[in-house]
Structure 1
Amino acid sequence: MLVSDIEPNKVTIVSVLPACARLAALQQGKEIHQFIVRKGFDMHIAIWNGLIDMYGRCGLIKKVGRVFDLIPERDIVSWNTMIAGYGMHGFGMDAVNLFLCLRSSELKPNQFTFTNLLAACSHSGLIDEGWKYFEMMKSEYAMGPAIEQYAWMVDLLARAGQFDESLEFIKEMPFEPNAAVWGSLLGACRIHCNPELAEYAAGYLFELEPTYSGNYILLANIYSAAGRWGDAARIRILMKDRGVTKPPGCTWIEVKRSVHSFIVGDTSHSLVDEISAKMNSLYSEIKEIGYVPDTKYVLQNLEEDEKEDSLCGHSEKLAIAFGLISTPNGTPLRIIKNLRVCGDCHEATKFIYKLTDREIIMRDCYRFHHFVGVCSCGDYW
């Protein structure tokens, strides 16, 4: 548009900011923000909200707060987006405190407010707060909780290992449980390695979403982690028989205005030799300071040394290695993955931070992880 001498307007800006948010393309997002300021746009509330969402999804939660504070007149979308941002980054109590500020304003929370608030409670394991605000919907705001709020409550309870309470809660729901409800239960079974309950939840999911690969892969992963290789193989055969295909795990990193993508075992990048050398060096050094490879995240029944080699080729690690050789010391690394981050990669990244003193901000399909020694998720994802 700019090259063609066509002047962007407010609609252009509101349309392009979400593209930066989805890709976590921070540099481009910053340039668009500068363009907005330089052109002196009359800042419509939708532009403010777009900036909040963009910076939040690019991992700059402090910047989000500064933008939020600058909004001259917030609407409910502003508050909801800010609460969602705190939740995604694992700052559950900040989300709760912001909700308390909203309650003292002239605006009234809506269904999206409570969905985002309960999600924030779930991401941070705030069980008491989750129950409090779930009940508040009905008692103070006369809102009947929707299926989305029920799903987040199941997620909250199950991730805390309260499986009996979760099942009882599901039975008492006024709705037929949907895929989000059963998916929450299945995801929690991964955390607590509960293959029996995972089978139960997956049975419903295979009926509700017969072509969605994520449910099959998650159940197979739970079987593999429990050493039930035969059952894991059976699920993969079931996928093949039903024509279900798994999208490859892919990780992106933005360096010098370009987005570089990696898949597991990737050898297509022009710097493949340098990346491989850096990864091998990192692997040896982090093992010396306490990292122990968690080979249960290798989904094939291989020899132990082959499993370790397989872990080295995970897309998250390749993106981090590339970032380390392609950016100046001290520069934070921001990466994004299309699937849930691997547990071994999550643990290895903590040690890579200790070794390199580089802040690493990782966004997966579920939430953000800020690695500064420990992870902001508290190993709760």
Structure 2
Amino acid sequence: MDVEPDATVWKSLLGACRMHKELEMGEMAAKELFELEPKNSMPYVMLSNLYSAAGRWEDAAKIRKLMKCRGISKEPGSSWTQANGKTHTFVSEDRSHPMIDEVIALIKEAGYVPDMSFVLHDMEREGKELGLAYHSEKLALAFGLLVVPSGAVIRIYKNLRVCGDCHTAFKYISSLYDRHIVLRDSNCFHHFVDGKCSCGDYW
């Protein structure tokens, strides 16, 4: 580059490293961001995710410990949608939703396979699958399927970046339920129609 890369450039590179599982380059980008934005949780979380995806659980735990030592906390993930003039908010791990299990079972029959690389903690497979199933954006979408009339767009908002597993699940759901789903995450708008997303699977 002709100019010194700023934090935005390093964040973009780190995001691409997560997408392409480029661990070594991701470590380099994260370390640059630790210097440029020492209180930003994003590079810590992304690097921890990279380690988790590579099965390097001890390194992922070290990054989380480093965050704690430096007094940096990750913003809790939440999603929300509107129905009948009210805003309904969802947080991950809420096991009270009545429809999510049915939705997950249906998309599994159609070929969906949970992507374990997006699980952040080392545990048995069943626990990993449950953790992925109860992400806040999936809960908001299951609720939307119940309350948003057929033919109307289901609109969901998320305070963080959508995970790759949820992104894949949304594509299956848009096709199987014949719904147009709009998800606004912290990076961009995703329009899911007929099993495809407007981002072209790269965001």
Smaller-chain TM-score bracket? over 0.9
1:252 to 75, 80, 92: 80
Instruction: Answer yes or no: is 1:285 the counterpart of 2:106.
Output: yes
2:155 to 323, 330, 334: 334
2:169 and 2:143 mapped to 1: Cα distance?
15
Please give the residue correspondences for 1:357-376 in structure 2 after superposition, counting only pairs within 5 Å: 357-372=178-193, 373-376=195-198
Instruction: Answer yes or no: is 1:313 the counterpart of 2:169.
Output: no
Please give the residue correspondences for 1:338-353 in structure 2 after superposition, counting only pairs within 5 Å: 338-353=159-174
Q: Deviations over 1:302-335 (max 9, x none)?
A: 1111100111110000000111111222221000
Partner AA of 2:137 in structure 1 = E
Query: Percent identity of the aligned residues?
Result: 55
Q: How many residues align?
A: 202
Partner AA of 2:30 in structure 1 = A
Instruction: Answer yes or no: is 1:380 the counterpart of 2:202.
Output: yes
1:235 to 46, 63, 66: 63
1:180 and 1:360 mapped to 2: Cα distance?
28
1:205 to 7, 15, 33: 33
Give the alignment's TM-score, normalised by structure 2: 0.96
Q: Which has the larger radius of gyration?
A: 1
Give the Å deviation of 1:180: 1.2
Please give the residue correspondences for 1:189-228 in structure 2 after superposition, counting only pairs within 5 Å: 189-228=17-56
Please give the residue correspondences for 1:89-238 in structure 2 after superposition, counting only pairs within 5 Å: 169=1, 172-173=2-3, 176-238=4-66
Give secondary structure in 2 for the equivalent of 1:277.
Answer: coil
2:139 and 2:21 mapped to 1: Cα distance?
27
Structure with the higher fraction of residues in helix conformation: 1
2:10 and 2:106 mapped to 1: Cα distance?
41
Give secondary structure in 2 for the equivalent of 1:180.
Answer: helix
Q: Deviations over 1:184-234 (max 9, x none)?
A: 111111111111011111111111111111110011111111111111111
1:228 and 1:293 mapped to 2: Cα distance?
19
Give secondary structure in 2 for the equivalent of 1:378.
Answer: coil
Give the alignment's TM-score, normalised by structure 1: 0.52
1:376 and 1:344 mapped to 2: Cα distance?
16
1:280 and 1:323 mapped to 2: Cα distance?
15
Matched with 1:67 is none
Give secondary structure in 2 for the equivalent of 1:185.
Answer: helix
Partner AA of 2:187 in structure 1 = Y
Higher relative contact order (CA 8 A, sep 6+): 2
Structure with the higher fraction of residues in strand conformation: 2
Give the Å deviation of 1:277: 2.8
Give the Å deviation of 1:341: 0.5
Stretches of 4+ aligned residues off by more than 6 angstroms: none
Partner AA of 1:377 in structure 2 = C
